[in-house]
């Protein structure tokens, strides 16, 4: 699906920058339901539940929870911790 406009998205964990890019859509699961954020969304602050953050319908970041802030066409998400996928755990093991 093609949307008009994009917005800046930054996803941070306590230890690292997980994601930073201009995107068109973002799906989140919060304590009050599911959100789809698009460019120029109204200002928002919310609590995120354990779920997957879906970016532009084709990227997924599993999280244990966190907070989201959308203001002035910029989205900042701070997650408690990223849930490591099997692929990420294998890569970490190979590095060590």
CATH assignment of the domain containing 17? 2.60.15.10
Q: Within 13 Å, how many C-alpha atoms sit on residue 39's CB side?
A: 9
What domain range is 80 assigned to?
7-95
pLDDT at 81: 72
The torsion angles phi and psi of 15, rounded to 5 degrees, stand at -105, -15
State pLDDT tens for residues 45-68.
Answer: 999 999 999 999 999 999 999 999
Domain total of the chain: 1
In a domain, 27, yes or no: yes
- Which residues, listed in sequence order, are joined to residue 79 by a DSSP beta bridge? 66
In a domain, 1, yes or no: no
In a domain, 47, yes or no: yes
In a domain, 86, yes or no: yes
pLDDT at 15: 86
Q: Residue 4: pLDDT band by 50, 70, 90 thresholds?
A: confident
pTM above 0.75, yes or no: yes
In a domain, 17, yes or no: yes
The answer to whether residue 96 scores a pLDDT higher than 60 is: no
63-89: average pLDDT: 84
In a domain, 22, yes or no: yes
């Amino acid at each position: 699906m093609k949307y008009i406009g994009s917005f800046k998205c930054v996803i941070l964990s306590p230890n690292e920058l997980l994601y930073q890019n201009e995107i068109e859509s973002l799906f989140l699961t919060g304590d009050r339901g599911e959100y789809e954020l698009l460019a120029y969304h109204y200002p928002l602050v919310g609590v995120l539940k354990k779920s997957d953050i879906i970016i532009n319908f084709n990227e997924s970041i599993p999280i244990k929870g966190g907070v989201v802030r959308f203001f002035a066409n910029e989205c900042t998400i701070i997650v408690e911790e990223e849930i490591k996928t099997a692929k990420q755990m294998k890569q970490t093991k190979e590095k060590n």
